[in-house]
Amino acid sequence: MRLYESGMLKDRIREAVSILKRCELCPRRCGVDRTSGEMGFCKSGMNPIVSSYNPHFGEERPLVGYGGSGTIFFTNCSMACVFCQNYPISQLGEGNPYTIDQLAEMISHFDIQE
């Protein structure tokens, strides 16, 4: 909200979209244009694919607090660890596509306490 109120949020959005045009968001540095439908190693386009989201109580106490850690399980992790405990989500892409507005809605439902 502070970014939005300061007017800087639009600049951040523009910057993020420009990175997606030649994606170097992770060390794979595929260089694909995700804004035009190209996909790199992570098989992800413009919109997120999410497997589940919820207040998560399974982490360490300092992370969980009183309302949960607010977990969003994104699919298609670019690290591709062979021992991943969430393989169907991280490598097989089990999840559903969401719009950016829907993702914002998910995040805003978590009770963030500063």
Q: Which is nearer to ligand SF4, 13 or 63 (CB)?
A: 13
Question: Binding residue for ligand SF4 (CB under 6 A) from 42, 49, 77, 89?
Answer: 42
> Does position 49 bind ligand SF4 by CB under 6 A?
no
Least distance from ligand SF4 to the Cβ atom of residue 8, Å: 23
Q: Which two tokens stand for residue 62?
A: 């300092």
* Residue 48 exposure: Cα atoms within 13 Å on the Cβ side: 20
Question: Binding residue for ligand SF4 (CB under 6 A) from 22, 28, 91, 102?
Answer: 28
Query: CA separation (Å) from 32 to 13, 35, 38, 48?
Result: 18, 9, 6, 16
> Does position 29 bind ligand SF4 by CB under 6 A?
yes
Helix (H, G, I), strand (E, B) or coil at 36: helix
Give strand pairing partners of 50. 74, 96
Question: Binding residue for ligand SF4 (CB under 6 A) from 24, 59, 105, 111?
Answer: 24
**Residue 84 and residue 81: Cα distance in Å, rounded?**
5
Chain residues binding ligand SF4 by CB under 6 A are 23-26, 28-30, 32, 40-42, 44, 78
